[in-house]
Structure 1
């Protein structure tokens, strides 16, 4: 199990939320898929729903009625949300949601990087972010997939001081590991001419990829056929409002 009790180091994926035009539909779908329970954000206003695993926060679901399709957003940990948002803009990114307080939980912002991929910033206060990770029904990994990988690699190296490593296990991929200055791997960047736009992908760990793929289809979503990779048995799922994510069972 991976239960967290403190803020993650700078540049670590630490929170995810789903922006969706159909919150009620999303609550039903993800309860069926992952067994999540829910509670409202205790902010004094309707800021969305906190998704719980064993009573601890793992994700958020935020109503966004004007959005055409739902989307998962990953948030990097930061010790200074305002300063990191400013540096992101100076490094070639663009500010979408300026830094703001989420009650006393966190200070957050949403930006796009130099190739247009969306991500958030999370300066944890009373809420660390996702308190369970790397186990079934929780976040395990994020990778950026982009048709223009070199500017993206330069952007994240400058913003968070990441170092870059190649991946010899999958030589056919244009893949680079992203590592924090302490050497810890936080994700990767995949260059692919097959994708029309750049986006950070979200991968949830599951106990049984085939069973989750069947539940997704039975609950109104879509799923690819599960397939084995060097790292996990994986499938790509689309929820009923169009949010795309992956699920995987480690060998």
Structure 2
């Protein structure tokens, strides 16, 4: 069911956003690629843009700003995991070898967010929902469909997310070396090691968006200045590719065949 009408359970990916140097250029690119609507937000939210698909929130895009005169943060898509109490989760993160990169802040009455890194270095966000639960449309063309943790140490990462958010690990049927990440015995994300990736690839969460046609989406992405990191290929869940937007934001697209709806 593409529309989400109930709160996300703790540990479930509930939102994705992009930090990028040129916010308007990113808004234009993803509008043309996925059909999103969005505009620079209000000053009290730092101009954060909530992009919509068919009138419902689907993802965020914001301007990456350097802090304390340091370098501008990299262009990156961030996966946010639902948390019942972000402050408590932050303490658990530190107790389990992770790092709180940005302590929790209240976002008006919408919720509370923080950013962290797991013990293998993969960055992720926490979202404690209040008025805003997260993405309200998923698993349909143009929307977020999957989050995948690519990590240098699956065992360490598994123990971390289990202790912090109650996420459990199970073998993914038919996928050697690939694990399902589950909340209450329901698959919500995937995890794999870095052995099949180029040397030096850091641990990271990868965001997947659904498309009607992977190959035609790749053609549109290239015309708009994007870059293909892994050309379209067929796998168990559908036909996918790994790409970058014109500013370097890495994500995957997939025309799904077997991924179940949320």
CA distance in 2, matches of 1:111, 1:49: 22
1:126 is matched with: 131
Report how far residue 41 of structure 1 moved.
Answer: 4.0
Report how far residue 163 of structure 1 moved.
Answer: 2.3
1:185 is matched with: 187
CA displacement, residues 188-232 of structure 1 (integer Å, 9 cap, x when unaligned)? 210123352100010001111111111110001112421111111
Report how far residue 94 of structure 1 moved.
Answer: 0.4
For 1:210-249, what aligned pairs fall within 5 Å after superposition? Answer: 210-223=215-228, 224-249=230-255
CA distance in 2, matches of 1:239, 1:228: 22
Conservation of the 8 A alpha-carbon contact between 1:179 and 1:187: yes
* Structure 2: gaps of 5 or more residues: 67-71, 258-262
CA distance in 1, matches of 2:33, 2:240: 15
CA distance in 1, matches of 2:130, 2:122: 26
CA distance in 1, matches of 2:39, 2:25: 16
* SS of match in other structure, 1:37: coil
Report the TM-score when normalising by structure 1. 0.94
Conservation of the 8 A alpha-carbon contact between 1:69 and 1:241: no
Report how far residue 186 of structure 1 moved.
Answer: 1.1
CA distance in 1, matches of 2:127, 2:208: 19
CA distance in 2, matches of 1:246, 1:141: 9
* SS of match in other structure, 1:38: coil
2:48 is matched with: 48
1:32 is matched with: 32
* SS of match in other structure, 1:226: strand
Alpha carbons of 1:43 and 1:14: their partners in 2 closer, same or farther (altered >3 Å)?
A: farther
Report how far residue 45 of structure 1 moved.
Answer: 4.2
Q: 2:141 aligns with which of 119, 132, 136?
A: 136
2:167 is matched with: 162
CA displacement, residues 121-169 of structure 1 (integer Å, 9 cap, x when unaligned)? 0111111111101111011010111222221111112112222211241
Report how far residue 250 of structure 1 moved.
Answer: 1.5
Note the aligned Cα RMSD (angstroms). 1.5
CA distance in 2, matches of 1:236, 1:27: 20
CA distance in 2, matches of 1:170, 1:46: 42
Q: Does 1:206 align with 2:211?
A: yes
Aligned length: 248
Which deviates further from its counterpart, 51-60 or 1-10?
A: 1-10
